[in-house]
């Protein structure tokens, strides 16, 4: 019974992925590891492009089906050690332990392309926009999440269906 309650407290009821509370706990824990061992980890925040249009045109049930299927599509494309969850609404977040910015950007592009090429069960195609941030020693979790979120919005402003991040020199990628 306690195990069931624990699972319910960390799981998003719609997608079955981790919820925001669980993701934040894992990111905080990983931040401590990053600081102690001077390694890095990366965070992707992504959401579905024009999701409001899907809900408006086809209804929330169709939107929910897309959210679930998106989770099922992404899960096998990441490692078992990565932490994947629903951030809220149509936004998702993935924590990649032991992953630098360059590797995270490659993974993000692979995920973006997989979603773009997938035909969802209801016959629809969707795209996602992705923002990437990296935890390094001394960086606060809030700062990295804010960076990934800012990059997500930059991806949307730049035309959607793209990956955005800040490179090592602290400049936006070309």
- For residue 90, the domain's CATH number is 3.30.70.270
Q: In this structure, what DSSP letter does residue 133 have?
A: E
Residue 31 has pLDDT above 90, yes or no: yes
- pTM of the entire structure? 0.92
Sign of CA dihedral 73, 77, 81, 82: negative
- Total count of domains within the chain: 1
What does the pLDDT read at residue 174?
41
What does the pLDDT read at residue 168?
53
Backbone dihedral angles phi then psi of residue 30, each to the nearest 5 degrees: -65, -35
Residues classed as catalytic: 90
The answer to whether residues 87 and 46 touch, using CB atoms and an 8 Å cutoff, is: no
Q: What are the residues whose beta carbons fall under 8 Å from the beta carbon of 40, sequence distance 6 or more? A: 34, 98, 99, 100, 101, 134, 135, 136, 137
- The pLDDT tens digits for 68-123 are 999 999 999 999 999 999 999 999 999 999 999 999 999 999 999 999 999 998 89
Residue 7 has pLDDT above 90, yes or no: no
- Give a yes or no: residue 143 inside a domain: yes
What does the pLDDT read at residue 9?
85
What is the domain extent for residue 141? 2-164
Q: How confident is the model at residue 162 (pLDDT cuts 50, 70, 90)?
A: very high
Q: How confident is the model at residue 171 (pLDDT cuts 50, 70, 90)?
A: very low
What mean pLDDT value characterizes the chain? 93
- Give a yes or no: residue 172 inside a domain: no
- The pLDDT tens digits for 114-151 are 999 999 988 989 999 999 999 999 999 999 999 999 99
- Give a yes or no: residue 48 inside a domain: yes
- Closest Cα partner for 63 from 49, 79, 52, 74? 52
- Give a yes or no: residue 174 inside a domain: no
């Amino acid at each position: 019974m306690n195990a069931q309650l624990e699972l319910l407290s960390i799981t998003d009821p719609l997608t079955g992925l981790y919820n925001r509370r669980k993701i934040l706990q894992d990111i905080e824990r990983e931040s401590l590891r990053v600081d102690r061992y001077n390694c890095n980890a990366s965070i992707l925040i992504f959401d579905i492009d024009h999701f409001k249009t899907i809900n408006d045109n086809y209804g929330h049930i169709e939107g929910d089906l897309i959210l679930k299927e998106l989770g099922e599509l992404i899960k096998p494309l990441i490692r078992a050690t990565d932490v994947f969850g629903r951030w809220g609404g149509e936004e998702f977040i993935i924590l990649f332990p032991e992953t630098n910015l360059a590797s995270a950007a490659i993974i993000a592009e692979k995920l973006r392309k997989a979603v773009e090429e997938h035909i969802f069960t209801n016959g629809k195609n969707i795209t996602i926009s992705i923002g990437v941030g990296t935890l390094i020693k001394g960086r606060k979790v809030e700062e990295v999440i804010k960076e990934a979120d800012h990059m997500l919005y930059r991806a949307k402003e730049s035309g959607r269906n793209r990956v955005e991040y800040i490179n090592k020199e602290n400049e936006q990628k070309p």
